[in-house]
Structure 1
Amino acid sequence: MRPPGSRVVGGMRAWLLIVSLLLSACARPTPAVAPPIAAGTSSPAPQVVERVDGSAQPLFAAAQVEGVFVLRSLTTGEQIVTDAALAGTGELPASTFKIPNALIGLERGVLAGADATLKWDGVERAGPPAWNRDHSLASALRDSTVWFFQEVARRVGPAAMHASLRAFAYGNADIGGGIDRFWLQGALRISPREQVEFISRLHRRELPVAREHMALVEHMLTRAQAPGWSWRGKTGLTAHEGRAVGWLVGLAERDGTTWAYALLLRAPEAEEERLVPVRAELTRALLIHYGALPAEAGR
């Protein structure tokens, strides 16, 4: 993961918002009306019914990226994908893996809670200056601090890590490539559809870990919120085999309805840094386009 360190260039956020609003006025699906599902309920999940929708392609074109967006209503089970083939393509999860890594660290007793702190080893690392200090779980998740979660994975150990990923049904659950590298440059692969399934189970408290651990990690993913809506998510970014891969996965809630989503972007490796601002701005525009966030969330 090479986390956010760049600024939005050339008014990209405003441009994507304008395109999103224009598309939404013409083609946005009307969210189904249904009783809200409270966070963490154990009621049966609705059957997932997927449809391919191309109405958001102008947003990808405006951002000049190849990618796919998967959006699932946890109320109705409707799942929208913008590219059926790419939605099923496995990629390295990069720092989106910090979500299961945090859950496993909490469940295995490596981390005692949001305030659990690991001491910085004093090694200056390439990346945001905020990495180079002691971190709690909450601050490490917020700042996407790679060394913190590498140390968590080492303390969990290969056997427990592999067993947990299999229990989560997390992608291919392959930890080949090193206990502190397998999600960055190793063998682990997960598709956008699988990301959405994992996030859906997190929200419904269906993963095989303590409910309080799922609730805590979900809360720490909050990016923005206001009365009537919230946006949670975790970014990821890596490069391998000549290609840059960018992610943003999480949850959006509006007026009592919750959606799980995953954005996957791919670009030539030389354009890796360009994906840093695009992930959040494109995801925001897509969530507005499909009605999972209100227009004011783009301001």
Structure 2
Amino acid sequence: MNIKALLLITSAIFISACSPYIVTANPNHSASKSDVKAEKIKNLFNEAHTTGVLVIQQGQTQQSYGNDLARASTEYVPASTFKMLNALIGLEHHKATTTEVFKWDGKKRLFPEWEKDMTLGDAMKASAISVYQDLARRIGLELMSKEVKRVGYGNADIGTQVDNFWLAGPLKITPQQEAQFAYKLANKTLPFSQKVQDEV
């Protein structure tokens, strides 16, 4: 799985107010360059007739761009971005391997691309929810809850249903927190083995 590409996607979707990280402009760029970049990104959201925020984490510095900057510190369900932590927990606790093939059950899925056998890597690239729901059921509610709390992921509340808490709640995370999480994964500083972080 290409973590740099995933980091960029994750940052764009969900990228914390309660963090030690500095939220500021990059000191290596002049104010005018930063302003031009910020305006260009804001205009991209405007041209798409939508509101949003892009949060970029570089070291201990975060930058937010877009036309609704308040979203950066607003909690949302993590949705597909939770696949990263789901995979980390599953691999760390030997609930799956990177080469294991999850068999398609033959049921119609939301997208035709999901209607096939897949590894965790294939499923992450295709954002195939059913494979990661399968993995979550293997992990189980007790272990999943313990690990989400141990990592300090978002509000760390997974509720009582192990296979949809990241899609429907109660788990929530801010885009700023999500950017920090993805940055730590990219730099292999999360509380998981180096091998597992490499695999994800």
Are 2:74 and 1:89 equivalent residues in the alignment?
yes
1:181 to 159, 164, 169: 164
1:105 to 84, 90, 95: 90
Deviation at 1:84, TM superposition (A): 4.4
Deviation at 1:177, TM superposition (A): 5.3
Matched residue, 2:50:
65
SS for the counterpart of 2:24 is strand
Matched residue, 2:5:
none
More strand by share: 1
CA contact (8 A) 2:92 2:193 kept: yes
Task: Give the aligned residue type for 2:63.
Answer: I
Q: State how many pairs are aligned.
A: 167
For 1:57 and 1:133, how far apart are their aligned partners in 2? 38
Matched residue, 2:138:
155
For 1:200 and 1:110, how far apart are their aligned partners in 2? 25
Percent identity over the alignment is 37
Task: Give the aligned residue type for 2:139.
Answer: V
Matched residue, 1:51:
24
Are 2:121 and 1:138 equivalent residues in the alignment?
yes
Q: How does 1:1-299 map to 2 (within 5 A)?
A: 48-51=21-24, 54-55=38-39, 56-74=41-59, 77-82=60-65, 83-113=68-98, 115-125=99-109, 127-176=110-159, 178-217=161-200
Task: Give the aligned residue type for 2:129.
Answer: V
Write the deviation string for residues 36-55 of structure 1: whole angstroms up to 9, x where unpaired.
xxxxxxxxxxx843127642
CA contact (8 A) 1:49 1:78 kept: yes
Task: Give the aligned residue type for 1:173.
Answer: A
Task: Give the aligned residue type for 1:124.
Answer: K
CA contact (8 A) 1:118 1:136 kept: yes
CA contact (8 A) 1:50 1:78 kept: yes
For 1:57 and 1:137, how far apart are their aligned partners in 2? 34
For 1:120 and 1:57, how far apart are their aligned partners in 2? 41
For 1:73 and 1:211, how far apart are their aligned partners in 2? 21
Say if 1:95 and 1:177 are closer, same or farther in 2 by CA, change over 3 A: farther
TM-score calculated relative to the size of structure 1: 0.53
For 1:63 and 1:196, how far apart are their aligned partners in 2? 23
SS for the counterpart of 2:150 is helix
For 2:62 and 2:199, how far apart are their aligned partners in 1? 26
In structure 1, the gaps of 5 or more residues are 1-46, 218-299
For 1:86 and 1:116, how far apart are their aligned partners in 2? 37
Deviation at 1:99, TM superposition (A): 0.8
Matched residue, 1:26:
none
SS for the counterpart of 1:64 is coil
Coordinate RMSD, CA, aligned: 1.7
CA contact (8 A) 1:168 1:198 kept: no
More helix by share: 2
TM-score calculated relative to the size of structure 2: 0.77
